[in-house]
Structure 1
Amino acid sequence: MPTRDQPTSRPATAASDTYSFLGPAGTFTEAALAQVPEAAGKPWRSVNNVGEALDDVVSGRSVAAMIAIENSVEGGVSATQDALANVPNLRIIGEYLVPVNFVFVARRGTTLADVKVVNAHPVAYAQCHLWLDAVLPSHGHIPATSNVTAAASLFESGLADAAIAPPNITKHHDLVVLAEDIGDNPSAVTRFVLVSRTVPTPAATGADKTSLIAELPDDRAGALLEMLEQFATRGVNMSLLESRPIGDALGRYRFVIDLDGHILDERVADALLGLKRFSPNVTFLGSYPRADRIRVEVTGRYGDDAFVDARDWLRGLIAGESD
Protein backbone atom coordinates (compact mmCIF):
# COMPACT_ATOMS: atom_id res chain seq x y z
CA MET A 1 0.00 0.00 0.00
CA PRO A 2 1.33 3.47 -0.79
CA THR A 3 2.24 5.58 2.23
CA ARG A 4 4.19 8.75 2.91
CA ASP A 5 7.37 6.73 3.41
CA GLN A 6 6.58 4.42 0.51
CA PRO A 7 4.98 6.55 -2.25
CA THR A 8 3.06 5.01 -5.08
CA SER A 9 4.99 4.28 -8.26
CA ARG A 10 2.15 5.63 -10.40
CA PRO A 11 2.36 9.13 -11.90
CA ALA A 12 1.45 11.94 -9.51
CA THR A 13 -2.28 12.61 -9.19
CA ALA A 14 -4.35 15.45 -7.81
CA ALA A 15 -4.46 15.87 -4.04
CA SER A 16 -8.21 15.32 -4.23
CA ASP A 17 -7.51 11.68 -5.10
CA THR A 18 -5.48 11.08 -1.92
CA TYR A 19 -6.73 9.27 1.19
CA SER A 20 -5.22 9.88 4.62
CA PHE A 21 -4.87 7.28 7.36
CA LEU A 22 -3.14 6.90 10.70
CA GLY A 23 0.17 5.33 9.82
CA PRO A 24 2.70 4.07 9.28
CA ALA A 25 1.98 1.12 7.00
CA GLY A 26 0.54 -1.91 8.77
CA THR A 27 -1.86 -0.20 11.18
CA PHE A 28 -5.44 -1.29 11.73
CA THR A 29 -6.45 2.05 10.17
CA GLU A 30 -4.71 1.06 6.96
CA ALA A 31 -6.61 -2.25 7.07
CA ALA A 32 -9.86 -0.28 7.33
CA LEU A 33 -8.92 1.92 4.38
CA ALA A 34 -8.21 -1.21 2.34
CA GLN A 35 -11.97 -1.96 2.59
CA VAL A 36 -12.88 1.21 0.65
CA PRO A 37 -13.40 0.38 -3.04
CA GLU A 38 -12.97 4.02 -4.11
CA ALA A 39 -9.54 4.17 -2.45
CA ALA A 40 -8.12 1.24 -4.39
CA GLY A 41 -5.36 2.35 -6.71
CA LYS A 42 -5.29 5.89 -5.28
CA PRO A 43 -2.44 7.49 -3.28
CA TRP A 44 -2.61 6.94 0.47
CA ARG A 45 -1.05 9.48 2.84
CA SER A 46 0.22 8.29 6.23
CA VAL A 47 -0.35 10.78 9.08
CA ASN A 48 0.54 10.86 12.74
CA ASN A 49 -2.76 11.66 14.45
CA VAL A 50 -6.47 12.38 13.99
CA GLY A 51 -5.93 16.14 13.88
CA GLU A 52 -3.51 15.84 10.98
CA ALA A 53 -5.87 13.48 9.15
CA LEU A 54 -8.80 15.89 9.41
CA ASP A 55 -6.59 18.85 8.50
CA ASP A 56 -5.71 17.00 5.31
CA VAL A 57 -9.42 16.82 4.49
CA VAL A 58 -10.23 20.43 5.39
CA SER A 59 -7.23 21.79 3.47
CA GLY A 60 -7.92 19.65 0.41
CA ARG A 61 -4.73 17.60 0.63
CA SER A 62 -6.94 14.52 0.82
CA VAL A 63 -10.39 13.67 -0.44
CA ALA A 64 -11.10 11.72 2.76
CA ALA A 65 -9.47 10.35 5.90
CA MET A 66 -9.94 7.06 7.72
CA ILE A 67 -10.04 7.42 11.51
CA ALA A 68 -10.95 5.16 14.43
CA ILE A 69 -14.06 6.26 16.32
CA GLU A 70 -15.09 3.37 18.57
CA ASN A 71 -13.75 0.13 20.02
CA SER A 72 -15.92 -2.68 21.31
CA VAL A 73 -13.74 -2.96 24.44
CA GLU A 74 -12.62 0.60 25.20
CA GLY A 75 -15.65 2.47 23.85
CA GLY A 76 -15.47 5.75 21.96
CA VAL A 77 -12.14 7.19 20.81
CA SER A 78 -12.14 10.53 22.61
CA ALA A 79 -9.58 12.21 20.34
CA THR A 80 -11.77 11.49 17.31
CA GLN A 81 -15.00 12.55 19.02
CA ASP A 82 -13.48 15.84 20.17
CA ALA A 83 -11.95 16.56 16.77
CA LEU A 84 -15.26 15.97 14.97
CA ALA A 85 -16.96 18.32 17.43
CA ASN A 86 -14.47 21.13 16.83
CA VAL A 87 -13.59 20.89 13.12
CA PRO A 88 -16.43 22.28 10.98
CA ASN A 89 -17.71 21.19 7.57
CA LEU A 90 -16.97 17.47 7.84
CA ARG A 91 -19.12 14.48 6.93
CA ILE A 92 -18.84 10.80 7.73
CA ILE A 93 -19.43 8.96 4.46
CA GLY A 94 -18.87 5.37 5.55
CA GLU A 95 -18.00 3.06 8.43
CA TYR A 96 -15.80 -0.03 8.48
CA LEU A 97 -15.14 -2.73 11.07
CA VAL A 98 -11.75 -4.32 11.70
CA PRO A 99 -11.25 -7.28 14.07
CA VAL A 100 -8.52 -6.41 16.55
CA ASN A 101 -5.93 -8.72 18.02
CA PHE A 102 -2.28 -8.36 18.83
CA VAL A 103 1.07 -10.11 18.78
CA PHE A 104 4.05 -9.59 21.07
CA VAL A 105 7.21 -8.86 19.08
CA ALA A 106 10.87 -8.16 19.73
CA ARG A 107 14.21 -7.83 17.98
CA ARG A 108 15.72 -11.09 16.82
CA GLY A 109 17.59 -12.85 19.61
CA THR A 110 15.24 -11.55 22.32
CA THR A 111 13.27 -14.01 24.46
CA LEU A 112 10.35 -13.46 26.81
CA ALA A 113 12.74 -13.76 29.74
CA ASP A 114 14.67 -10.76 28.41
CA VAL A 115 11.67 -8.42 28.33
CA LYS A 116 11.61 -5.74 31.03
CA VAL A 117 10.00 -2.80 29.18
CA VAL A 118 7.13 -2.92 26.66
CA ASN A 119 6.30 -0.29 24.04
CA ALA A 120 2.59 -0.13 23.16
CA HIS A 121 -0.16 2.23 22.12
CA PRO A 122 -2.25 2.97 25.25
CA VAL A 123 -5.41 1.43 23.78
CA ALA A 124 -3.59 -1.75 22.74
CA TYR A 125 -1.86 -1.88 26.10
CA ALA A 126 -5.21 -1.70 27.91
CA GLN A 127 -6.59 -4.52 25.76
CA CYS A 128 -3.69 -6.86 26.57
CA HIS A 129 -3.26 -6.25 30.29
CA LEU A 130 -4.45 -9.72 31.38
CA TRP A 131 -1.77 -11.43 29.29
CA LEU A 132 0.89 -8.94 30.36
CA ASP A 133 0.01 -9.27 34.05
CA ALA A 134 0.17 -13.04 33.81
CA VAL A 135 3.36 -13.37 31.75
CA LEU A 136 5.29 -10.19 32.61
CA PRO A 137 3.91 -8.99 35.97
CA SER A 138 6.77 -6.54 36.67
CA HIS A 139 7.18 -5.01 33.20
CA GLY A 140 7.40 -1.30 32.44
CA HIS A 141 5.37 0.47 29.73
CA ILE A 142 6.37 3.16 27.23
CA PRO A 143 3.36 4.65 25.33
CA ALA A 144 3.52 4.79 21.53
CA THR A 145 1.55 6.90 19.04
CA SER A 146 0.43 3.86 17.05
CA ASN A 147 0.69 0.07 17.14
CA VAL A 148 3.15 0.01 14.26
CA THR A 149 5.24 2.82 15.73
CA ALA A 150 5.54 0.76 18.91
CA ALA A 151 7.19 -2.02 16.94
CA ALA A 152 9.34 0.30 14.81
CA SER A 153 10.69 2.00 17.94
CA LEU A 154 12.45 -1.22 18.91
CA PHE A 155 15.02 -0.39 16.23
CA GLU A 156 15.25 3.31 17.08
CA SER A 157 15.44 4.15 20.78
CA GLY A 158 16.34 0.81 22.33
CA LEU A 159 14.41 1.82 25.46
CA ALA A 160 11.93 -1.03 25.12
CA ASP A 161 12.65 -4.73 24.80
CA ALA A 162 9.39 -5.74 23.10
CA ALA A 163 6.21 -4.26 21.67
CA ILE A 164 2.53 -4.96 21.19
CA ALA A 165 1.72 -4.83 17.47
CA PRO A 166 -0.79 -5.89 14.78
CA PRO A 167 -0.53 -9.49 13.53
CA ASN A 168 0.88 -8.47 10.12
CA ILE A 169 3.76 -6.42 11.55
CA THR A 170 6.42 -8.89 10.38
CA LYS A 171 5.53 -7.96 6.78
CA HIS A 172 6.92 -4.50 7.48
CA HIS A 173 9.66 -5.02 10.09
CA ASP A 174 12.24 -7.72 10.75
CA LEU A 175 10.94 -8.81 14.12
CA VAL A 176 10.34 -12.10 15.88
CA VAL A 177 6.91 -12.95 17.29
CA LEU A 178 7.20 -14.00 20.93
CA ALA A 179 3.47 -14.60 21.45
CA GLU A 180 0.29 -14.47 19.37
CA ASP A 181 -3.34 -13.62 20.19
CA ILE A 182 -2.47 -11.77 23.37
CA GLY A 183 -5.60 -9.60 23.40
CA ASP A 184 -7.91 -10.00 26.38
CA ASN A 185 -11.02 -10.21 24.18
CA PRO A 186 -10.81 -12.34 21.02
CA SER A 187 -14.01 -10.72 19.74
CA ALA A 188 -12.66 -7.15 19.95
CA VAL A 189 -13.55 -4.96 16.98
CA THR A 190 -12.65 -1.38 16.14
CA ARG A 191 -15.06 0.78 14.19
CA PHE A 192 -13.55 3.23 11.73
CA VAL A 193 -15.22 6.05 9.81
CA LEU A 194 -14.27 7.62 6.50
CA VAL A 195 -14.53 11.40 6.77
CA SER A 196 -14.76 13.87 3.90
CA ARG A 197 -15.67 17.51 3.47
CA THR A 198 -19.38 18.35 3.53
CA VAL A 199 -21.13 16.58 0.66
CA PRO A 200 -24.78 16.05 -0.31
CA THR A 201 -26.34 13.30 1.78
CA PRO A 202 -26.50 10.03 -0.17
CA ALA A 203 -29.75 8.16 -0.63
CA ALA A 204 -30.99 5.91 2.15
CA THR A 205 -30.26 2.20 1.78
CA GLY A 206 -32.49 0.89 4.56
CA ALA A 207 -29.39 -0.21 6.48
CA ASP A 208 -28.05 3.15 7.60
CA LYS A 209 -26.64 5.00 10.57
CA THR A 210 -26.76 8.71 11.41
CA SER A 211 -24.13 10.39 13.60
CA LEU A 212 -24.42 13.73 15.35
CA ILE A 213 -23.22 15.74 18.33
CA ALA A 214 -25.56 17.77 20.53
CA GLU A 215 -25.37 19.93 23.65
CA LEU A 216 -27.90 20.40 26.43
CA PRO A 217 -29.42 23.89 26.65
CA ASP A 218 -28.77 24.17 30.39
CA ASP A 219 -27.68 22.21 33.45
CA ARG A 220 -30.94 21.19 35.13
CA ALA A 221 -32.76 18.09 36.27
CA GLY A 222 -34.42 16.31 33.37
CA ALA A 223 -32.53 18.08 30.56
CA LEU A 224 -30.86 14.90 29.33
CA LEU A 225 -34.13 12.99 29.52
CA GLU A 226 -35.81 15.70 27.44
CA MET A 227 -33.11 15.34 24.80
CA LEU A 228 -33.45 11.56 24.73
CA GLU A 229 -37.22 11.84 24.38
CA GLN A 230 -36.72 13.50 20.99
CA PHE A 231 -35.66 10.06 19.75
CA ALA A 232 -37.69 7.73 21.97
CA THR A 233 -41.06 9.28 21.08
CA ARG A 234 -40.29 8.82 17.38
CA GLY A 235 -39.03 5.24 17.60
CA VAL A 236 -35.41 6.11 16.80
CA ASN A 237 -32.90 3.79 18.46
CA MET A 238 -29.55 5.15 19.64
CA SER A 239 -26.70 2.70 19.10
CA LEU A 240 -24.19 5.06 20.74
CA LEU A 241 -24.52 7.76 23.39
CA GLU A 242 -21.34 9.13 24.96
CA SER A 243 -20.58 12.36 26.78
CA ARG A 244 -17.49 14.50 26.23
CA PRO A 245 -16.54 17.66 28.13
CA ILE A 246 -17.03 20.85 26.13
CA GLY A 247 -14.02 22.32 27.90
CA ASP A 248 -15.22 25.81 28.72
CA ALA A 249 -16.37 25.01 32.28
CA LEU A 250 -16.77 22.12 34.69
CA GLY A 251 -20.00 20.21 34.25
CA ARG A 252 -20.51 21.22 30.62
CA TYR A 253 -20.80 18.26 28.26
CA ARG A 254 -21.70 17.49 24.67
CA PHE A 255 -23.16 14.16 23.58
CA VAL A 256 -21.93 12.02 20.72
CA ILE A 257 -24.88 10.11 19.29
CA ASP A 258 -25.35 7.38 16.69
CA LEU A 259 -28.87 6.71 15.47
CA ASP A 260 -30.22 3.66 13.66
CA GLY A 261 -31.58 5.10 10.44
CA HIS A 262 -31.04 7.80 7.81
CA ILE A 263 -31.81 11.52 7.85
CA LEU A 264 -34.18 10.88 4.93
CA ASP A 265 -36.18 8.45 7.07
CA GLU A 266 -39.25 10.33 8.29
CA ARG A 267 -38.79 9.33 11.94
CA VAL A 268 -35.12 10.39 11.99
CA ALA A 269 -35.82 13.69 10.22
CA ASP A 270 -38.63 14.48 12.67
CA ALA A 271 -36.38 13.64 15.63
CA LEU A 272 -33.64 15.93 14.32
CA LEU A 273 -36.13 18.77 13.95
CA GLY A 274 -37.13 18.25 17.58
CA LEU A 275 -33.49 18.10 18.64
CA LYS A 276 -32.69 21.32 16.79
CA ARG A 277 -35.48 23.14 18.62
CA PHE A 278 -34.16 21.80 21.93
CA SER A 279 -30.37 21.95 21.67
CA PRO A 280 -28.34 25.16 21.25
CA ASN A 281 -25.71 23.34 19.19
CA VAL A 282 -26.31 20.36 16.93
CA THR A 283 -23.58 19.05 14.62
CA PHE A 284 -24.79 16.69 11.90
CA LEU A 285 -21.93 14.35 11.05
CA GLY A 286 -23.68 12.37 8.33
CA SER A 287 -25.94 9.51 7.35
CA TYR A 288 -24.14 6.56 5.80
CA PRO A 289 -24.49 2.79 5.23
CA ARG A 290 -23.95 0.57 8.26
CA ALA A 291 -20.84 -1.58 8.11
CA ASP A 292 -22.82 -4.72 8.97
CA ARG A 293 -25.47 -3.93 6.29
CA ILE A 294 -28.24 -5.02 8.69
CA ARG A 295 -31.51 -3.35 7.78
CA VAL A 296 -33.14 -1.16 10.41
CA GLU A 297 -36.59 -2.49 11.25
CA VAL A 298 -39.29 -0.36 12.90
CA THR A 299 -42.90 -0.94 13.88
CA GLY A 300 -45.71 0.42 11.72
CA ARG A 301 -46.39 3.57 13.71
CA TYR A 302 -42.76 4.69 13.19
CA GLY A 303 -42.56 3.89 9.49
CA ASP A 304 -42.40 6.61 6.81
CA ASP A 305 -46.05 6.08 5.84
CA ALA A 306 -47.25 6.80 9.38
CA PHE A 307 -45.50 10.18 9.44
CA VAL A 308 -46.73 11.08 5.95
CA ASP A 309 -50.31 10.09 6.83
CA ALA A 310 -50.17 12.18 10.00
CA ARG A 311 -49.03 15.26 8.06
CA ASP A 312 -51.73 14.73 5.42
CA TRP A 313 -54.33 14.41 8.17
CA LEU A 314 -53.19 17.71 9.70
CA ARG A 315 -53.26 19.48 6.33
CA GLY A 316 -56.79 18.21 5.83
CA LEU A 317 -57.89 19.57 9.18
CA ILE A 318 -56.40 22.97 8.37
CA ALA A 319 -58.11 22.96 4.95
CA GLY A 320 -61.49 22.17 6.54
CA GLU A 321 -61.73 18.65 5.18
CA SER A 322 -63.67 15.99 7.04
CA ASP A 323 -61.54 13.85 9.33
Structure 2
Amino acid sequence: MPVENSIEGTVNQTLDELIENPSLLISGEIIVSIHHCLLVAPDCDWRQVEKVFSHPQALAQCRPFLEKKLPGATLIPTLSTAEGAQKVTTMQGDEKKYSAAIASAFAASRHDLQVANFSIQSHDNNKTRFLVMSRQLTEPTGDDKTSLVCALPQDRPGGLYSILKEFAERQINLTRIESRPTKQELGHYLFYIDCVGHQRDPRVAEALKAIGKNSILTRILGSYKKGAVQE
Protein backbone atom coordinates (compact mmCIF):
# COMPACT_ATOMS: atom_id res chain seq x y z
CA MET A 1 0.00 0.00 0.00
CA PRO A 2 1.51 3.39 -0.95
CA VAL A 3 1.59 5.67 2.10
CA GLU A 4 3.74 8.66 1.14
CA ASN A 5 5.58 10.18 -1.78
CA SER A 6 8.53 12.57 -1.79
CA ILE A 7 6.72 14.94 -4.20
CA GLU A 8 3.03 14.82 -3.28
CA GLY A 9 3.27 13.75 0.36
CA THR A 10 0.83 11.49 2.17
CA VAL A 11 -1.58 9.10 0.49
CA ASN A 12 -4.56 9.89 2.71
CA GLN A 13 -6.62 6.95 1.50
CA THR A 14 -4.01 4.58 2.95
CA LEU A 15 -4.09 6.31 6.35
CA ASP A 16 -7.86 5.96 6.42
CA GLU A 17 -7.67 2.27 5.50
CA LEU A 18 -5.17 1.62 8.29
CA ILE A 19 -7.61 2.82 10.94
CA GLU A 20 -10.63 1.19 9.28
CA ASN A 21 -9.00 -2.27 9.15
CA PRO A 22 -7.73 -3.03 12.67
CA SER A 23 -7.03 -6.69 11.86
CA LEU A 24 -4.19 -5.69 9.51
CA LEU A 25 -0.71 -4.85 10.80
CA ILE A 26 2.22 -3.20 9.06
CA SER A 27 4.90 -5.87 8.72
CA GLY A 28 7.35 -4.05 6.47
CA GLU A 29 8.08 -1.06 4.28
CA ILE A 30 9.56 -0.70 0.82
CA ILE A 31 10.90 2.57 -0.57
CA VAL A 32 10.91 2.64 -4.36
CA SER A 33 12.43 5.15 -6.77
CA ILE A 34 9.64 6.11 -9.14
CA HIS A 35 10.13 6.84 -12.84
CA HIS A 36 6.78 7.63 -14.43
CA CYS A 37 6.41 7.14 -18.16
CA LEU A 38 3.80 8.23 -20.66
CA LEU A 39 2.54 5.02 -22.28
CA VAL A 40 0.64 4.82 -25.55
CA ALA A 41 -0.46 2.16 -28.00
CA PRO A 42 1.99 1.22 -30.77
CA ASP A 43 1.98 3.68 -33.70
CA CYS A 44 0.11 6.25 -31.60
CA ASP A 45 1.26 9.88 -31.81
CA TRP A 46 1.40 10.88 -28.13
CA ARG A 47 1.07 14.57 -29.06
CA GLN A 48 -2.51 13.86 -30.15
CA VAL A 49 -3.52 12.25 -26.84
CA GLU A 50 -6.84 13.50 -25.46
CA LYS A 51 -7.18 11.34 -22.33
CA VAL A 52 -4.56 10.32 -19.75
CA PHE A 53 -5.31 7.54 -17.26
CA SER A 54 -3.41 6.94 -14.01
CA HIS A 55 -3.51 6.94 -10.22
CA PRO A 56 -4.22 10.43 -8.78
CA GLN A 57 -0.78 10.56 -7.15
CA ALA A 58 0.96 9.80 -10.46
CA LEU A 59 -1.12 12.42 -12.27
CA ALA A 60 -0.16 14.99 -9.63
CA GLN A 61 3.53 14.04 -9.73
CA CYS A 62 3.56 14.58 -13.51
CA ARG A 63 1.44 17.73 -13.55
CA PRO A 64 4.09 20.09 -15.01
CA PHE A 65 4.75 17.74 -17.93
CA LEU A 66 1.05 17.31 -18.63
CA GLU A 67 0.32 21.03 -18.45
CA LYS A 68 3.16 21.82 -20.85
CA LYS A 69 2.98 18.94 -23.31
CA LEU A 70 -0.70 17.91 -23.17
CA PRO A 71 -2.56 20.98 -21.90
CA GLY A 72 -5.87 19.96 -23.45
CA ALA A 73 -5.91 16.36 -22.28
CA THR A 74 -8.50 15.12 -19.80
CA LEU A 75 -6.91 13.48 -16.75
CA ILE A 76 -8.81 10.41 -15.58
CA PRO A 77 -7.95 8.87 -12.18
CA THR A 78 -7.70 5.10 -11.73
CA LEU A 79 -7.15 2.87 -8.70
CA SER A 80 -3.53 2.23 -9.71
CA THR A 81 -1.05 3.09 -12.45
CA ALA A 82 -1.31 -0.52 -13.65
CA GLU A 83 -5.08 -0.16 -14.04
CA GLY A 84 -4.51 2.95 -16.15
CA ALA A 85 -2.25 1.00 -18.49
CA GLN A 86 -4.76 -1.85 -18.62
CA LYS A 87 -7.56 0.52 -19.60
CA VAL A 88 -5.59 1.83 -22.57
CA THR A 89 -4.67 -1.70 -23.65
CA THR A 90 -8.29 -2.87 -23.76
CA MET A 91 -9.55 0.12 -25.79
CA GLN A 92 -10.38 -0.10 -29.46
CA GLY A 93 -10.11 2.17 -32.49
CA ASP A 94 -9.81 5.93 -32.11
CA GLU A 95 -10.41 5.78 -28.36
CA LYS A 96 -7.18 3.80 -27.97
CA LYS A 97 -5.38 5.99 -30.52
CA TYR A 98 -6.04 9.15 -28.50
CA SER A 99 -5.49 7.74 -25.00
CA ALA A 100 -2.41 7.34 -22.82
CA ALA A 101 -1.47 6.08 -19.38
CA ILE A 102 1.11 7.14 -16.83
CA ALA A 103 2.85 4.09 -15.41
CA SER A 104 6.24 2.37 -15.29
CA ALA A 105 8.30 1.11 -18.20
CA PHE A 106 7.63 -2.38 -16.85
CA ALA A 107 3.89 -1.76 -17.22
CA ALA A 108 4.48 -0.88 -20.87
CA SER A 109 6.02 -4.27 -21.61
CA ARG A 110 3.37 -6.06 -19.58
CA HIS A 111 0.45 -4.39 -21.37
CA ASP A 112 1.84 -4.20 -24.92
CA LEU A 113 2.24 -0.44 -24.85
CA GLN A 114 5.19 1.72 -25.81
CA VAL A 115 7.03 4.36 -23.79
CA ALA A 116 6.43 7.71 -25.46
CA ASN A 117 8.21 9.72 -22.75
CA PHE A 118 10.40 8.42 -19.93
CA SER A 119 10.72 9.83 -16.40
CA ILE A 120 8.11 12.58 -16.74
CA GLN A 121 7.66 13.24 -13.00
CA SER A 122 8.33 16.80 -11.85
CA HIS A 123 11.34 15.84 -9.70
CA ASP A 124 14.07 13.32 -10.44
CA ASN A 125 14.38 12.29 -6.79
CA ASN A 126 10.88 10.81 -6.76
CA LYS A 127 10.39 8.09 -4.16
CA THR A 128 7.30 6.36 -2.81
CA ARG A 129 7.10 4.49 0.47
CA PHE A 130 4.94 1.37 0.41
CA LEU A 131 3.66 -0.58 3.42
CA VAL A 132 3.59 -4.37 3.56
CA MET A 133 0.56 -5.64 5.47
CA SER A 134 -0.08 -8.89 7.35
CA ARG A 135 -2.09 -10.19 10.30
CA GLN A 136 0.88 -11.06 12.51
CA LEU A 137 3.31 -8.99 14.56
CA THR A 138 6.89 -9.16 13.29
CA GLU A 139 9.81 -9.97 15.57
CA PRO A 140 12.37 -7.28 16.51
CA THR A 141 15.40 -7.01 14.21
CA GLY A 142 17.36 -4.27 15.99
CA ASP A 143 16.67 -1.85 13.13
CA ASP A 144 12.94 -1.28 13.38
CA LYS A 145 10.21 1.32 13.24
CA THR A 146 6.82 1.38 14.93
CA SER A 147 3.70 3.06 13.57
CA LEU A 148 0.76 4.06 15.73
CA VAL A 149 -2.35 6.21 15.68
CA CYS A 150 -3.75 8.08 18.66
CA ALA A 151 -6.44 10.62 19.50
CA LEU A 152 -6.67 13.17 22.30
CA PRO A 153 -9.66 13.20 24.68
CA GLN A 154 -10.19 16.92 24.04
CA ASP A 155 -8.74 19.89 22.19
CA ARG A 156 -6.57 21.70 24.73
CA PRO A 157 -3.28 23.62 24.86
CA GLY A 158 -0.37 21.22 25.10
CA GLY A 159 -2.48 18.20 24.21
CA LEU A 160 -0.25 17.02 21.39
CA TYR A 161 2.83 17.85 23.45
CA SER A 162 1.63 15.44 26.14
CA ILE A 163 2.04 12.67 23.57
CA LEU A 164 5.24 13.83 21.91
CA LYS A 165 7.08 14.40 25.20
CA GLU A 166 6.83 10.70 26.01
CA PHE A 167 9.09 10.02 23.04
CA ALA A 168 11.41 12.97 23.68
CA GLU A 169 11.98 12.09 27.33
CA ARG A 170 13.09 8.61 26.29
CA GLN A 171 15.27 9.80 23.40
CA ILE A 172 13.07 8.06 20.83
CA ASN A 173 13.29 9.64 17.39
CA LEU A 174 10.11 10.33 15.42
CA THR A 175 10.41 9.90 11.66
CA ARG A 176 6.92 11.07 10.77
CA ILE A 177 3.79 12.63 12.25
CA GLU A 178 0.56 13.25 10.36
CA SER A 179 -2.96 14.31 11.31
CA ARG A 180 -6.23 13.16 9.75
CA PRO A 181 -9.82 14.15 10.62
CA THR A 182 -11.71 11.66 12.78
CA LYS A 183 -14.68 12.14 10.40
CA GLN A 184 -16.89 12.53 13.45
CA GLU A 185 -16.65 16.23 14.28
CA LEU A 186 -14.93 19.26 12.78
CA GLY A 187 -11.63 20.01 14.50
CA HIS A 188 -11.15 16.49 15.91
CA TYR A 189 -8.09 14.67 14.60
CA LEU A 190 -6.23 11.38 14.66
CA PHE A 191 -2.45 11.57 14.86
CA TYR A 192 -0.38 9.04 12.92
CA ILE A 193 3.15 8.66 14.28
CA ASP A 194 6.20 6.68 13.14
CA CYS A 195 9.01 6.24 15.65
CA VAL A 196 12.34 4.43 15.68
CA GLY A 197 12.33 1.13 17.56
CA HIS A 198 10.13 -1.93 18.02
CA GLN A 199 7.08 -1.91 20.30
CA ARG A 200 8.77 -4.64 22.35
CA ASP A 201 11.83 -2.46 23.00
CA PRO A 202 11.65 -1.33 26.67
CA ARG A 203 11.83 2.42 25.97
CA VAL A 204 9.25 2.26 23.17
CA ALA A 205 6.96 0.06 25.27
CA GLU A 206 7.15 2.56 28.14
CA ALA A 207 6.33 5.47 25.83
CA LEU A 208 3.36 3.66 24.30
CA LYS A 209 2.01 2.80 27.74
CA ALA A 210 2.29 6.43 28.87
CA ILE A 211 0.63 7.68 25.69
CA GLY A 212 -2.26 5.32 26.30
CA LYS A 213 -2.97 7.11 29.57
CA ASN A 214 -3.21 10.52 27.85
CA SER A 215 -5.32 9.57 24.83
CA ILE A 216 -8.76 8.13 24.16
CA LEU A 217 -7.36 5.97 21.37
CA THR A 218 -3.95 4.37 20.97
CA ARG A 219 -3.59 1.71 18.31
CA ILE A 220 -0.30 0.13 17.31
CA LEU A 221 -0.36 -0.24 13.53
CA GLY A 222 2.74 -2.42 13.50
CA SER A 223 6.47 -2.72 14.17
CA TYR A 224 8.71 -3.61 11.25
CA LYS A 225 12.23 -3.47 9.87
CA LYS A 226 13.24 -0.17 8.30
CA GLY A 227 13.07 -0.28 4.53
CA ALA A 228 15.90 0.49 2.12
CA VAL A 229 15.52 2.36 -1.15
CA GLN A 230 15.04 0.11 -4.17
CA GLU A 231 16.09 1.63 -7.48
TM-score, L = length of structure 1: 0.66
Cα displacement (A) at 1:156: 3.5
Cα displacement (A) at 1:115: 1.4
Amino acid at match of 1:289: K
Amino acid at match of 2:120: I
Within the alignment, does 1:246 sit opposite 2:167 as a pair? Answer: no
Which among 114, 124, 133 is matched to residue 195 of structure 1? 133
Q: Does the 8 Å CA contact 2:27/2:223 hold for their aligned counterparts?
A: yes
Instruction: Provide the aligned C-alpha RMSD in A.
Output: 1.8
Within the alignment, does 1:103 sit opposite 2:37 as a pair? Answer: yes
Cα displacement (A) at 1:266: 2.4
**Number of aligned positions between the proteins:** 225
Which stretches of structure 1, 4 residues or longer, exceed 3 Å deviation after superposition? none
Q: Does the 8 Å CA contact 1:227/1:278 hold for their aligned counterparts?
A: yes
Could you tell me how far apart the structure 1 residues matched to 2:25 and 2:71 are?
A: 44
Within the alignment, does 1:69 sit opposite 2:3 as a pair? Answer: yes
Within the alignment, does 1:173 sit opposite 2:173 as a pair? Answer: no
Which among 125, 136, 152 is matched to residue 59 of structure 2? 125
1:255 is paired with a residue of what secondary structure? strand
Look up the match of 1:257.
Answer: 193
Cα deviation 1:70-120 (Å, max 9, x = unaligned): 222222221111111122232211111211111111112211321122112
Look up the match of 1:185.
Answer: 123
2:86 is paired with a residue of what secondary structure? helix
Which among 138, 162, 166 is matched to residue 100 of structure 2? 162
Look up the match of 1:92.
Answer: 26
Cα deviation 1:250-292 (Å, max 9, x = unaligned): 1111011100111232221121111011111101112111013
Specify whether residues 277 and 130 from structure 1 end up closer, same or farther in structure 2 by C-alpha distance, changes over 3 A only. Answer: same
Q: Which consecutive residues of structure 1, in runs of 5 or more, have no partner in the other structure?
A: 1-66, 294-323
Within the alignment, does 1:282 sit opposite 2:199 as a pair? Answer: no
Q: Does the 8 Å CA contact 2:85/2:108 hold for their aligned counterparts?
A: no
Q: Does the 8 Å CA contact 1:214/1:281 hold for their aligned counterparts?
A: yes
Q: Does the 8 Å CA contact 1:115/1:139 hold for their aligned counterparts?
A: yes
Which among 77, 80, 87 is matched to residue 14 of structure 2? 80
Which among 63, 68, 71 is matched to residue 137 of structure 1? 71
Cα displacement (A) at 1:197: 1.3
1:163 is paired with a residue of what secondary structure? strand
Look up the match of 1:9.
Answer: none
Q: Which has the higher contact order (CA 8 A, sep 6+)?
A: 2
Could you tell me how far apart the structure 1 residues matched to 2:46 and 2:21 are?
A: 44
Specify whether residues 145 and 217 from structure 1 end up closer, same or farther in structure 2 by C-alpha distance, changes over 3 A only. Answer: same
1:254 is paired with a residue of what secondary structure? strand
Could you tell me how far apart the structure 2 residues matched to 1:275 and 1:231 are?
A: 9
Could you tell me how far apart the structure 2 residues matched to 1:198 and 1:181 are?
A: 37
Amino acid at match of 1:193: L
Within the alignment, does 1:146 sit opposite 2:80 as a pair? Answer: yes
Specify whether residues 143 and 89 from structure 1 end up closer, same or farther in structure 2 by C-alpha distance, changes over 3 A only. Answer: closer
1:244 is paired with a residue of what secondary structure? strand
Percent sequence identity is: 38
Cα displacement (A) at 1:179: 0.7
Q: Which consecutive residues of structure 2, in runs of 5 or more, have no partner in the other structure?
A: none
Q: Which has the larger radius of gyration?
A: 1
Q: Does the 8 Å CA contact 2:47/2:69 hold for their aligned counterparts?
A: no
Comparing both structures, which one devotes a greater share of its residues to strand? Answer: 2
1:247 is paired with a residue of what secondary structure? coil
Amino acid at match of 2:153: P
